[in-house]
A = this chain, B = another copy of it.
Amino acid sequence: MERDFIDWLNKNVPRHPRAELGLTDDAALLSIAEPSKVVVTTDMLNDGVDFRVSVDDPRRIGRQALGANLSDLAAMAAKPVAAFISIALPRPGGTGPQPLELAKGVYEGILALAAEYDVAIAGGDTNSHDGPLVISVTAIGETTKCGPLTRSNGQVGDWLLVTGKLGGSLLGHMFGFTPRVREALFLNEHYKIHACIDISDGLALDASRLAKASGVGAVIRTEQVPISPDAFTLSDQDGAADRDTAALQHALSDGQDFELLLALDADVARKIINDQPLECGLTHVGELVAEHGLWQQGATGQRLELPPIGYLH
């Protein structure tokens, strides 16, 4: 099986000028634009935890695996360069797709997304084991002349902006999402951003992480959170008594939205909101405050504690 798959890989993984040795050597050799820093992120995805082989399209699983890493690079405003894909395949037998088809499907999803973002698939490892599908992706990026963003430099008084719309990833968006790489690079080039994180575990949890790393608190203006139509559909499917509240809960706590949460000086943020430079939209959803913790503030203006609910792996 593995020999067949390696042959398939050698035919299907394109050569990329950034990875000059192809897949043939002990390690990959990457050229990084100087004087960049190298940005590295890694995620492991497991069948039954992050996806389900029994129901999910393998191409979507592959897209998710690489996409989650590209979203992490976007959060640092790093330009993706290369990715390394290691897979542990289940043994043949069982119900779902068989190992070779599964592996090819996962790679088809990965290769399509890699092509969209000009990412070299520069190495990896493929094994079989007596267990469920495991995909481990490491993505390498480089900082641009604008430098990296981190989650730890938010300032009291900063506005919090999000890209796109939140919630409802359970409906399938989590496999089809667009990592906000281009958006992050554009914003970092044109505006002074203090801090950034990708919303991988829900707006509430990731806002609390950005605030904590910055040594401040965060207020979310709940009535301003941009809610995805999928979050309303999910609320209807759940038979929620209060459709709007249920949809907001999805927007605050669903994992894998993979939008960006940015902290910027209020004046800069007002300018961005006015400019609306991104197709996906940018929305003002709150502020950073001196009082530690996570807070919500509704239309009445009253400030209440907001539990950092979210998707904990």
Q: Which residues of A contact B (CB under 8 A)?
A: 2, 21, 24-32, 34-35, 37-44, 46-50, 72-73, 75-76, 78, 82, 84, 86-88, 122-125, 127-132, 134, 136, 138-141, 143, 148, 150-152, 197-198, 213, 313
Contacts and interface: CB of A to CB of B under 8 A. Distances in A.
A123 B274 CA distance: 38
> 7 nearest interchain CB pairs?
A131-B131, A27-B41, A136-B136, A44-B86, A46-B129, A138-B138, A26-B75
B40 A122 contact: yes
Given A25-B151, A152-B24, A213-B24, A44 B84 contact: no
User: Main SS of the interface on chain A?
Assistant: strand
B86 A25 contact: no
Contacts of A24: 151-152, 213
Instruction: State the copy count for this chain.
Output: 2
Nearest to A206: B26
A125 B139 CA distance: 13
Given A28-B41, A37-B29, A46-B88, A131 B128 contact: no
A130 B47 CA distance: 9
B21 A40 contact: no
A4 to B, nearest CB: 13
A241 to B, nearest CB: 33
A287 to B, nearest CB: 22
Given A25-B150, A152-B25, A38 B35 contact: no
